[in-house]
Structure 1
Amino acid sequence: MVDETEATVEVRRSRRRKSTVSAHRDGTTTVVSIPARFSRAQEREWVQRMLQRLADKERRRRPSDAELLARAQRLAERYLGGRVSPSSVRWSGNQGRRWGSCTLIDGSIRISTRVRGMPGWVLDYVVLHELTHLIHAGHGPEFWAELESYPRTDRARGFLEGVAYGRDLAGEPPDDD
């Protein structure tokens, strides 16, 4: 998440823009596009509104460890019938090339910080994948059959394969932060 005290805001006025306002991050700069006809007061109002929307969106895409655990519990209930309950679920910066890992002995799950910011359905798949290991240790047919209840399994796996392929092409080393 970008700290607004250190970030800059660039307002772009457009004559073609009639009523819509949009915003996006470009590094540490937040770009807010508004109609040219907006007054300075409307500009200030919309800049604040869009900064809040971006911050809310980023917070949802980067949940805390406690939010990650709550998410895992909801996923376990919905897709695994509540048969598992992890002891902990937390972010981990030392997953190397793994998206997540599960320790069967104590039921703890670690999710790679590389997953932070990815679409929620991808995060859900990674968490659910690790939760399923609490039922089936390996990646046998029973394991994959269990994951079939999550409707975006194939899509999420494709997304993660694409990310990994892109990083391999770019020659990026595994994350060990």
Structure 2
Amino acid sequence: MQSPTPPRSAPTGAPTSTPGAVEVRRSTRRRRTVTAYRQDGRTVVLIPASFSRSEERSWVDRMVAKLETRESRGRRRSGTDDELMVRARALSEAHLGGVLPSSVRWVDNQHRRWGSCTPADGTIRLSSRLRGMPEYVVDYVLVHELAHLLEPAHDAAFWALVGRYPRAERALGYLEGVEARTGIDPA
């Protein structure tokens, strides 16, 4: 992976951005904490306005490295399409009576959905945006899509099936938080 473009600082409260790079946002309300996340192909680092340029550079480097490590772990955890199928089988046996899809795979073209299922042919696709998220969140989306093999509509019977996954509510809350932060509302 290429190293990020060196960050530029902005006046207090104004963001800086270089396409595909690092955006540093200074805040007068922030005193000590530093936060970083990925958004629209760039890394956003939130720092206190009082930080010097050298503190900014140090924190940006540290936070970019932390995000890369977290994402790397998530990619290893998320695995291949074959590993997704193994997970789907295990989740189905544990929570949905063993219904099996014909295929499960990662896709890069789902920007407004976390996953999709075509009950007619039994295929399930998960958005690659899920890579790097906690395992229980990926598992929730798998259970959600597997439930569509039994109940195609989002009706009460469908949600009862999804509710068999013990961390469903927590995972749904996590995804709603991601959607709120990114402004994406999957249909």
Same fold (TM over 0.5): yes
State whether structure 2 residue 150 is matched by structure 1 residue 141.
no
> Which one-letter code corresponds to 2:138 in the other structure?
L
Cα distance, 1:115 vs. partner?
0.7
Do structure 1's residue 100 and structure 2's residue 115 form an aligned pair? Answer: yes
The 1-side partners of 2:74 and 2:154 are apart by 32
Pairwise CA distance, 1:114: 0.8
Could you tell me whether the CA contact under 8 Å between 2:75 and 2:131 is conserved in 1? Answer: no
Partner of 2:126: 111
Alpha-carbon deviation of 1:103? 0.8
Matches within 5 A, 1:12-23: none
Q: Give the letter for the 1:121 counterpart.
A: Y
What stretches of structure 2 of length at least 5 have no aligned partner? 4-61
Distance 1:164 1:58 in 2: 19
Structure-2 separation of matches of 1:106 and 1:85: 11
Corresponding letter in the other structure for 1:158: G
Q: Is the contact between residue 132 and residue 147 of structure 1 (CA under 8 Å) also seen in structure 2?
A: yes
Q: Which runs of 5+ in 1 are unaligned?
A: 8-24, 31-50
**What do residues 1-52 of structure 1 show as CA deviations (whole Å, max 9, x unaligned)?**
xx6xx78xxxxxxxxxxxxxxxxx743x47xxxxxxxxxxxxxxxxxxxx9x
- TM-score normalized with structure 2 length: 0.61
Cα distance in 2 for residues equivalent to 1:88 and 1:163: 27
> Within the alignment, does 1:78 sit opposite 2:101 as a pair?
no
Partner deviation per Cα, 1:61-98 (whole Å, 9 max, x = no partner): 3311111111001101110111x111110001111210
One-letter identity of the residue aligned with 2:137: V
Alpha-carbon RMSD across the aligned residues, in angstroms, is 2.9
- Distance, in Å, in 2 between the alignment partners of 1:103 and 1:173 is 21
Alignment partner, residue 88 of structure 1: 103
1:114-125 maps to which residues of 2 (within 5 A)?
Answer: 114-125=129-140
1:136/1:164 Cα in 2 relative to 1: closer, same or farther (>3 Å)? same
Distance of aligned partners of 1:160 and 1:173 in 2 relative to their CA distance in 1, 3 Å threshold:
closer
- Contact 1:61-1:118 within 8 A present in 2 as well: no
> 1:142 is matched by which residue type in structure 2?
A
Among 159, 172, 175, the residue aligned to 2:174: 159
In 1, Cα distance between the equivalents of 2:90 and 2:117?
A: 17
**Aligned-partner Cα distance in 2 for 1:173–1:93:** 17
What is the letter of the counterpart of residue 166 of structure 1?
R
Equivalent residue letter for 1:108: T
d(CA) in 1 for partners of 2:161 and 2:117?
A: 16
- Contact persistence 2:114–2:130 (CA under 8 A): yes
CA-CA distance at 1:147 after TM superposition: 1.4
How many angstroms apart in 2 are the aligned matches of 1:173 and 1:145? 23
Which secondary structure state, in structure 1, belongs to the residue aligned with residue 150 of structure 2? coil
How far is the alpha carbon of 1:59 from its aligned partner? 4.5
Higher relative contact order (CA 8 A, sep 6+): 1
Identity of aligned residues (%): 51
Distance 1:81 1:113 in 2: 27
